[in-house]
Amino acid sequence: MPLHIDTLSRKNKMSIADLPNLLIGADTVVPTLYGPKRYVNFDNAASTPTFQPIADSLVSFLRWYSNVHRGTGFKSQLSSWAFERSRDIVAEFIGADLEQQVVIFTKNSTEAINKLAYRLPFENSDIILTTLMEHHSNELPWRRAGKVEHVGLNDDGTISKDDFLAKLKAFGSRVKLVAITGASNVTGYINDLDFFALESHRAGVKILVDAAQLVPHRSIDVKPHDPQYCIDYLVFSGHKMYAPFGVGVLVGDKETFEQGDPETVGGGMVDMVTLEEAYWTDLPEKEEAGTPDTVGVVALAKAIHMFESLGWEAIIGHEAGLTAYALKKLKQIPAVTLYGDTDPANAAQRLGVISFNIRDLPHALVAAILSYEGAIGVRAGCFCAQPYVKSILQVSDEEAKALEKQILSRDRSNAPGAVRISFGLYNTKDEIDRLIEMLTKIAFGDYNRDYVLNKEKGEYTPKEFEVDFGEYFRL
């Protein structure tokens, strides 16, 4: 009789209203300058926490956990089954067809893009057409692979479709891949993937979508049997979708990965090794050298069940409600400058990722005040998207050069950037009210004045405020 079958499945109806209570750490109290306060997390675009049902599923899986694929014992067989069943669940979630495509588990989106960049047979003069909106993870791997060209932006910070078409035409057959983000981690803009896929394919070019930001917020279908609108390659990360246990996903056609050598070699991905030769095994193992993160993969499958159980309509409705509410309130603080689309009426067409500055206050100082005085976690800086942030902040080339010099001399005190808040499924309007109250105080100068800047790091900390993290979590 099987024991401890957990109950989180796509059939179990979950409700968004339950999530604040199901969040692990929902009631965590952290130290501030004014004593302990309940923590508010508005940094979900970076990583999301997890929910009790997902953690419970993992605890029930851990009693079966064993090494996958090579063991002969029952636990190893069950773990191998769970690992492969999770792959099927991931494939179904994004509409992949495992007959012709492969789902490869990686560490994160960054590793997935690097893996693909290694695999594609570019030559030095081949062009990878990417955009000015990208996260560094969808920029730097391509610089090693070939010549990178960038599609420019419109005045509002969206990607210029005209420039995309012009560049596709101008570079012609030299363009070997279009690499574009599904949604911005700075402004929350969602890109028109049908348009970019169609035009790429019309030009005879494959498209990679960096879906690290999009997958947790919108349904995605890679449409493998649609030559016009398919997404040829897709990457995303478990830690941004409530499965913070170290798994990323790379999806692509088998043909890409069947030829040639994988990036990483070692155990688990060979059929035979002699002292002279190694014969790679079949996909997907060929691309997953070493012992995989089975627990992380199972967690991702369980997180997917949670998304399916909640339903996209409810997810989008909740996040759009929070975004519209926050934009409306932020606009009422006169000193706040918002970037991107600031219209609350458009909240359902974008992600709940909002970047802003308060007057000329350093972004890092605003983030520090929110943390040390309000117990509110946000992010400040360029969010690993420096070219995009410089562009939306309208940093001139001259200013950028001067700043580069300063930063390279290890002084980040004037590093450009913004403050970013990003919502998760469990956030509430009450939490936004807390943020607005703090930002209003900051705008009116009502905050502690004793912050010290660490120039090298570009970070602010209050004077005489020491925390022993070991008091909160022992290691």
Ligand X SMILES: Cc1ncc(COP(=O)(O)O)c(C=O)c1O
Residues that bind ligand X (CB under 6 A): 46, 108-110, 135, 137-138, 181, 185, 210, 212-213, 237, 248
Cα 448 to Cα 425: distance, rounded to the nearest angstrom? 32
What is the nearest approach in angstroms of ligand X to the Cβ of residue 385?
Answer: 8
Closest CA to 254 of 285, 278, 277, 228: 285
The catalytic position among 40, 91, 197, 384 is 384
Nearer to ligand X, 137 or 200 (CB): 137
What is the nearest approach in angstroms of ligand X to the Cβ of residue 254?
Answer: 23
Evaluate whether 224 touches 97 at the Cβ level (below 8 Å). Answer: yes
Cα 43 to Cα 272: distance, rounded to the nearest angstrom? 46
What is the phi/psi pair of residue 357, to 5°? -130, 160
What is the nearest approach in angstroms of ligand X to the Cβ of residue 303?
Answer: 14
What is the nearest approach in angstroms of ligand X to the Cβ of residue 135?
Answer: 4
Q: How many CB atoms lie within 10 A of CB 17?
A: 10
Nearer to ligand X, 241 or 326 (CB): 241
Q: How many CB atoms lie within 10 A of CB 250?
A: 26
Evaluate whether 189 touches 217 at the Cβ level (below 8 Å). Answer: no
Evaluate whether 422 touches 431 at the Cβ level (below 8 Å). Answer: no
Nearer to ligand X, 22 or 208 (CB): 208
* 230 given a catalytic annotation: no
Cα 259 to Cα 39: distance, rounded to the nearest angstrom? 49
DSSP state at residue 275: S
The rounded Cα 370 to chain-centroid distance in angstroms is 23
Cα 144 to Cα 118: distance, rounded to the nearest angstrom? 9
Cα 157 to Cα 132: distance, rounded to the nearest angstrom? 9
Closest CA to 179 of 142, 222, 218, 230: 142
What is the nearest approach in angstroms of ligand X to the Cβ of residue 212?
Answer: 4
Cα 416 to Cα 47: distance, rounded to the nearest angstrom? 23
Nearer to ligand X, 214 or 436 (CB): 214
Evaluate whether 450 touches 443 at the Cβ level (below 8 Å). Answer: no
- What long-range pairs does 413-417 form, CB within 8 A, spacing at least 24? 413/362, 413/453, 413/455, 413/458, 415/364, 415/381, 415/382, 415/458, 416/382, 416/389, 416/390, 417/363, 417/364, 417/380, 417/381, 417/382, 417/383, 417/389, 417/393
What is the nearest approach in angstroms of ligand X to the Cβ of residue 433?
Answer: 27
What is the nearest approach in angstroms of ligand X to the Cβ of residue 249?
Answer: 10
What is the nearest approach in angstroms of ligand X to the Cβ of residue 472?
Answer: 25
- Give the residue numbers marked as catalytic: 384
